[in-house]
């Protein structure tokens, strides 16, 4: 029998942490039960582990008891790290100990998966340096600042690299759990869990949920001014040459500073601003696709649709129908 360890954080947690712990436990327990019903032995022994034998959440509103101290877990095959608050720079000592334990277990052959902002604990262990990672889109800018050596994949819901898994935000941790069930059990078990727990299978992107706000957690005032200028003119076609000239910076130097500060080229940033404006129009108005397209400075329907799909993972019509009942 394999061993699954679900980490219970030492504070710095939220109700989402509890949801991840309980939801992942139920997913793997359901998979175990399915195998047992079909004449096979349960695949995983599931264990909750932390620093102490009890952990409280939300000022004592909820608590988890009878936890196994990680110091007693000598060997495990798979570790799941739940969501955390994203101020992991001020991590409690217990969480640092958990991160060190996770890194040690990985070196000893365990695989590790972080759910939502659990990526902060995983990154603090050093295991994500130079590797791909996903986390909640809302914390991407902060995460990129705290862990510059991690390769963030904003659009992807799940990353899978050398026995390390990460996933996007919120309750998408259930999609990661389904993914791991298929990997460790089989496809049919994943389908069964998907149907019983009513979790969509094979979901790969979180693009449609992202609200683009722009990376402004940097100290380059010129770039901040350029960002605000771009954001104030979603209906205009702004050339990079005009921007660099406006701020009296050479084109190459302007590009370099903009990319370093925001993670996007000026063109990509302007495109994201326009598509975010278009998304809000589709959500809140009855405007047609063409009307919205013209209002964000596009005249080529094909080009607009391709860009919209590239950024959101959906066509403009699919997006409007999903988020605007009146318009659909």
- pLDDT digit string (tens) for 251-292? 999 999 999 999 899 999 999 999 999 999 999 999 999 999
Residue 147, both tokens: 């862990």
Percent of the chain topping pLDDT 90: 76
User: In Å, how far are 75, 132, 302 from 269, measured between CA atoms?
Assistant: 46, 22, 20
Contact criterion met (CB below 8 Å) for 135 and 40: no
* Paired residues of 138 in beta bridges: none
Domain 2-207: assigned CATH number? 3.40.50.880
- What's the maximum distance between 2 C-alpha atoms anywhere in the chain? 73
pLDDT at 89: 65
Q: How far apart are the first and last CA of the chain?
A: 51
Per the model's pLDDT, the better-predicted residue between 185 and 155 turns out to be 185
What is the distance between the alpha carbons of residues 174 and 119, in angstroms, rounded to a whole number? 15
For residue 62, the Cα-to-chain-centroid distance in whole angstroms is: 25
HSE-CB of 213 using CA atoms within 13 angstroms: 11
Domain boundaries, the chain: 2-207, 221-323
For the ranges 65-79, 178-192, 207-221, 249-263, the maximum mean pLDDT occurs at: 178-192
Mean of the pLDDT values across residues 41-70? 85
Backbone dihedral angles phi then psi of residue 9, each to the nearest 5 degrees: -65, 160
- Per-residue pLDDT, 91: 64
CA angle 269, 270, 272 (to 5 degrees): 65
How far is residue 185's CA from residue 172's CA, in Å, rounded to a whole number?
A: 20
Nearest to residue 46, comparing CAs of 195, 196, 180? 180
- What is the pairing mode between strands 132-133 and 68-69? unpaired
Query: Whole-angstrom Cα distance, residue 196 to residue 168?
Result: 22
In this predicted structure, what is the pLDDT of residue 90?
64
Q: Other C-beta atoms within 10 Å of 66: how many?
A: 7
Report phi then psi at 3, rounded to 5.
Answer: -120, 125
Q: What is the pLDDT of residue 328?
A: 62
The answer to whether 217 and 224 are in contact (CB under 8 A) is no
User: What is the rounded CA–CA span in Å between residue 190 and residue 180?
Assistant: 8
Question: Do the two domains 2-207 and 221-323 of this chain adopt the same fold?
Answer: no
Instruction: Give me the pLDDT at residue 318, please.
Output: 94
Q: Give the Cα separation of 284 and 300 in Å (integer).
A: 23
The pTM assigned to this predicted structure is 0.83
Superfamily (CATH H level) for 221-323: Homeodomain-like (1.10.10.60)
Residue 150 is classified by DSSP as S
Distance CA 106, CA 168 (A): 21
């Amino acid at each position: 029998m394999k061993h699954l360890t679900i980490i219970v954080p030492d504070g710095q947690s939220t109700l989402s942490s509890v949801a991840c712990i309980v939801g992942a436990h139920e997913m793997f327990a359901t998979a175990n039960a399915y195998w047992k019903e079909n004449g096979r032995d349960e695949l995983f022994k599931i264990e909750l582990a932390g620093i102490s034998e009890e952990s409280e959440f939300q000022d004592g509103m909820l608590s988890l008891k009878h936890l196994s101290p990680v110091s007693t877990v000598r060997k495990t095959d798979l570790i799941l790290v739940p969501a955390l608050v994203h101020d992991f720079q001020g991590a409690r000592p217990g969480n640092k100990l958990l991160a060190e334990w996770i890194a040690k277990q990985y070196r000893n052959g365990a695989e590790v998966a972080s759910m939502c902002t659990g990526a902060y604990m995983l990154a603090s262990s050093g295991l994500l340096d130079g590797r791909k990672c996903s986390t909640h889109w809302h914390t991407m800018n902060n995460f990129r600042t705290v862990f510059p050596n991690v390769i963030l994949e904003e659009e992807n819901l799940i990353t899978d690299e050398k026995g390390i898994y990460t996933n996007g935000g919120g309750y998408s941790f259930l999609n990661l759990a389904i993914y791991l069930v298929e990997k460790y059990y089989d496809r049919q078990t994943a389908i069964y869990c998907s149907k019983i727990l009513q979790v969509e299978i094979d979901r790969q992107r979180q693009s449609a949920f992202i609200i683009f706000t722009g990376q402004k957690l940097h100290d380059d005032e010129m770039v901040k001014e350029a960002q605000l200028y771009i954001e104030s003119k979603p209906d205009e076609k702004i050339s990079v040459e005009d921007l660099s000239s406006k701020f009296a910076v050479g084109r190459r130097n302007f590009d370099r500073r903009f990319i370093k500060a925001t993670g996007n080229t000026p063109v990509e940033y302007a495109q994201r601003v326009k598509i975010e404006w278009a998304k809000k129009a589709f959500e809140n108005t009855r405007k047609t696709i063409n009307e919205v397209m013209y209002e964000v400075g596009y005249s080529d329907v094909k080009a607009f649709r391709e860009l919209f799909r590239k950024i959101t993972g959906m066509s403009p019509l699919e997006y409007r129908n999903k988020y605007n009942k009146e318009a659909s």
